[in-house]
C-alpha cells in the first residue's frame, strides 16, 4: 500500500518560532508543511483536512482550546499537537482532555520530541488506513451475492429472508443440517447490516465446556475464581455495538440459559466476581441443528428463552434440495482451491457433474468442498473425471439414481446402504424399508455371493 502524503499545518504567531518549527518538521522529507500566523487564515484551509496541526496556545485571534475544539469537531481524525511556551500542567491536562494528541513545551530543542510524536501519529494513521482497507475487503467478502452462491429457488427464498434482517436488529435463529453454512449466513447478516463496522463475535457453545462458558460469555474479575489471574472481558462486551453469534445454542446448559435470558432482557452483563452491571448493545444471532421446539417440549431448552430468541427464523436448505447449485458451488470451490494453491484451473467432466448431482450430501456444502478438493488433488488431468470424485458415504440419492442397473441391483444397493447406515442392524433396516426380515437376510446372502 502506497503511503499517502502526510500534511502538517503549523499555526504559530511568532515568525521566528514558526520558521524553526517548519525547518524542524521538514527534516523528514516525507512531510508536507503549511504554515499560518493566526487562527483565521488556518480556518480558511481547514477543509483541506491536514493529518496534523501544531498549535500555539496563545494566538492573536484565538486561544488554543477554542481552536482545538473547532478542529476536532470539524474532523476528529486531525491530530493536534499543542506547542506552548507555558509549562503549565493544568493547561496541558485541559487540552489533552479536550482531544489534543500531545503537549510540547517550547524548549531549546524540541526536535526529538516533535519527530517522535509525528512518527507515532503517522504510524497510527497507517494502521487505521490498513484497518479500513481490511474492513472494506471483509465487507466485500461477505457481500450476499458472493457468499451465498446458487440459483435454486430454495436458496433464493433463503436470501430473501436474510435481506429482511439487514436493516434492523432482529434476533435471528439459523437452523439447518450440519454443513449448510449457518456461520457463513451469520457473518453475511452481520457484514451486510448496519453493525458491519463493529465486531462479529462467534461463540461455539458446543465447543466450550459448560463450566467455562459463563466466564467466556460474561467475563470475570481478577480473583473471582481459581485461575482468574486477571480481569477478562466476556464475549457480550466484546460484541458491544456489534453482533454475537451463538452457534449450537441448543447445547447450552439450562442454568446458563437463564442468565442469557437476563442479559437479553436487561441489556446488561455482570462479570463473574463483580456486582456492577455493564450496559451492552448486542445483536444476537443463533444457530442450531436441533429442533428447539422439540427441545423445549423435552425440557432441555427454556421456553422463555426460546420465544426471546425466535425473532426471525431462517432455515437453510440441505444441499440435496438445491439441484444445480451443487455444480455452481463445485465450480466455486475449484476456483478457490486452484487459486489458493497456485494451480492451473481445472474443469469438471460431464460424467463428474452427473456423479456430483447424483449424491445426497449428508455433510452438505462442507462435504462437497472436501470432495472437490480431494478430486482436484487426485486428478492428473486438466479435467476432473468421474473416478476422481469420491464420496465418504455411499448413500444413494434416490431422486438421482444413475447407471445401468437392474431393479434387483438397485434394491440390493439400497439394502446395502441401509445396512451400513444402521450398523448392520437387520431388524432396524427391515423396519425402515418396510420389508420382511427374511427378505433382508436373503438379500444379504446375495450381496455376499462372489460375482
Partner 1 sequence: MKKYKIDALKEQCGYDPAFFNEMLDTFIVSTEKGVEGMEEALLKHDNSALAYYAHKIVSPCRHIEADNLVLLLKELENKSASEKMLPEEMNELVKKIRSESEELKEELKKEYL
Q: Give the chain's largest Cα–Cα span.
A: 107
Contact positions with partner 1 (CB under 8 A) in 140-179: none
Strands 52-56 and 79-84: parallel
Query: Can you tell me which of 14, 98, 152, 274 binds partner 1, judged by CB under 8 A?
Result: 14
Contact positions with partner 1 (CB under 8 A) in 312-341: none
Q: Does 24 bind partner 1 (CB under 8 A)?
A: yes
Nearest Cα to Cα of residue 292 among 235, 255, 254:
254
Q: Does 60 bind partner 1 (CB under 8 A)?
A: yes
Nearer to partner 1, 57 or 213 (CB): 57
What CA–CA distance (Å, rounded) separates 17 from 451?
A: 100
Q: Does 40 bind partner 1 (CB under 8 A)?
A: no
What CA–CA distance (Å, rounded) separates 207 from 216?
A: 12
What CA–CA distance (Å, rounded) separates 251 from 210?
A: 9
Identify which range of 13-21, 159-167, 192-200, 295-303 contacts partner 1 by CB under 8 A: 13-21
Least distance between partner 1 and beta carbon 77 (Å): 29
> Nine-digit cell at 31?
512531510
What CA–CA distance (Å, rounded) separates 205 from 370?
A: 25
Identify which range of 16-24, 252-260, 382-390, 419-427 contacts partner 1 by CB under 8 A: 16-24
Q: Does 342 bind partner 1 (CB under 8 A)?
A: no
The SS3 call for residue 78 is: coil
* First and final C-alpha spacing in the chain: 66
Least distance between partner 1 and beta carbon 130 (Å): 34
> Nine-digit cell at 219?
467475563
Nearest Cα to Cα of residue 247 among 210, 204, 289:
204
Residues sharing a CB contact under 8 Å with residue 303, sequence separation 6 or more, in sequence order: 296
Identify which range of 11-19, 200-208, 250-258, 392-400 contacts partner 1 by CB under 8 A: 11-19
Query: Can you tell me which of 7, 20, 113, 290 binds partner 1, judged by CB under 8 A?
Result: 20
Query: Can you tell me which of 30, 66, 85, 137 binds partner 1, judged by CB under 8 A?
Result: 85
What CA–CA distance (Å, rounded) separates 291 from 175?
A: 8
Nearer to partner 1, 117 or 147 (CB): 117
Contact positions with partner 1 (CB under 8 A) in 235-254: none
Residues that bind partner 1 (CB under 8 A): 13-17, 19-20, 23-24, 27, 58, 60, 85, 106, 108-109, 111
Amino acid at each position: 500500500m502506497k503511503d499517502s502524503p502526510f500534511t502538517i499545518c503549523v499555526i504559530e504567531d511568532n515568525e521566528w518560532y514558526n520558521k524553526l518549527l517548519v525547518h524542524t518538521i521538514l527534516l523528514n522529507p516525507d512531510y508536507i508543511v503549511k504554515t499560518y500566523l493566526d487562527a483565521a487564515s488556518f480556518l480558511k484551509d481547514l477543509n483541506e483536512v491536514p493529518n496534523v496541526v501544531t498549535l500555539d496556545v496563545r494566538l492573536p485571534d484565538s486561544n488554543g482550546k477554542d481552536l482545538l475544539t473547532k478542529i476536532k469537531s470539524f474532523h476528529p481524525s486531525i491530530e493536534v499537537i499543542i506547542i506552548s511556551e507555558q509549562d503549565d500542567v493544568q493547561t496541558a491536562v485541559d487540552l489533552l482532555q479536550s482531544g489534543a494528541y500531545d503537549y510540547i513545551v517550547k524548549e531549546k530543542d524540541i526536535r526529538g520530541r516533535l519527530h517522535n510524536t509525528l512518527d507515532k501519529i503517522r504510524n497510527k494513521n497507517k494502521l487505521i488506513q490498513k484497518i479500513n482497507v481490511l474492513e472494506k475487503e471483509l465487507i466485500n467478502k461477505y457481500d450476499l451475492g458472493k457468499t451465498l452462491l446458487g440459483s435454486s429457488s430454495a436458496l433464493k427464498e433463503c436470501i430473501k429472508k436474510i435481506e429482511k434482517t439487514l436493516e434492523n436488529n432482529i434476533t435471528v435463529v439459523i437452523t439447518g443440517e450440519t454443513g449448510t453454512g449457518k456461520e457463513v449466513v451469520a457473518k453475511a447478516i452481520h457484514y451486510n447490516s448496519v453493525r458491519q463496522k463493529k465486531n462479529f463475535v462467534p461463540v461455539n457453545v458446543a465447543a466450550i465446556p459448560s463450566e467455562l462458558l459463563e466466564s467466556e460469555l460474561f467475563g470475570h474479575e481478577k480473583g473471582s475464581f481459581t485461575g482468574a489471574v486477571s480481569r477478562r472481558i466476556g464475549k457480550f462486551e466484546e460484541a458491544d455495538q456489534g453482533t454475537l453469534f451463538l452457534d449450537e445454542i441448543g447445547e447450552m446448559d439450562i442454568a446458563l440459559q437463564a442468565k442469557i435470558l437476563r442479559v437479553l432482557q436487561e441489556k446488561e452483563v455482570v462479570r463473574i466476581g463483580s456486582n456492577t452491571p455493564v450496559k451492552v448493545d448486542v445483536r444476537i444471532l443463533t444457530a442450531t441443528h436441533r429442533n428447539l421446539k422439540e427441545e423445549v417440549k423435552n425440557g432441555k431448552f427454556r421456553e422463555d428463552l426460546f420465544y426471546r430468541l425466535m425473532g426471525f427464523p431462517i432455515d437453510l436448505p440441505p444441499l440435496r434440495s438445491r439441484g444445480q447449485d451443487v455444480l455452481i458451488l463445485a465450480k466455486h470451490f475449484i476456483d478457490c482451491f486452484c487459486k489458493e494453491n497456485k494451480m492451473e484451473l481445472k474443469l469438471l467432466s460431464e460424467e463428474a457433474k452427473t456423479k456430483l448431482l447424483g449424491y445426497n450430501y449428508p455433510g452438505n456444502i462442507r462435504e462437497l468442498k472436501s470432495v472437490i478438493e480431494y478430486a482436484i488433488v487426485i486428478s492428473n488431468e486438466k479435467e476432473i473425471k468421474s473416478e476422481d470424485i469420491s464420496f465418504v458415504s455411499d448413500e444413494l440419492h434416490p431422486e438421482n439414481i444413475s447407471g445401468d442397473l437392474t431393479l434387483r441391483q438397485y434394491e440390493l444397493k439400497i439394502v446395502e446402504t441401509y445396512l451400513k447406515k444402521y450398523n448392520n442392524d437387520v431388524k432396524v433396516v427391515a423396519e425402515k424399508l418396510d420389508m420382511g426380515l427374511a427378505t433382508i437376510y436373503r438379500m444379504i446372502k446375495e450381496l455376499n455371493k462372489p460375482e
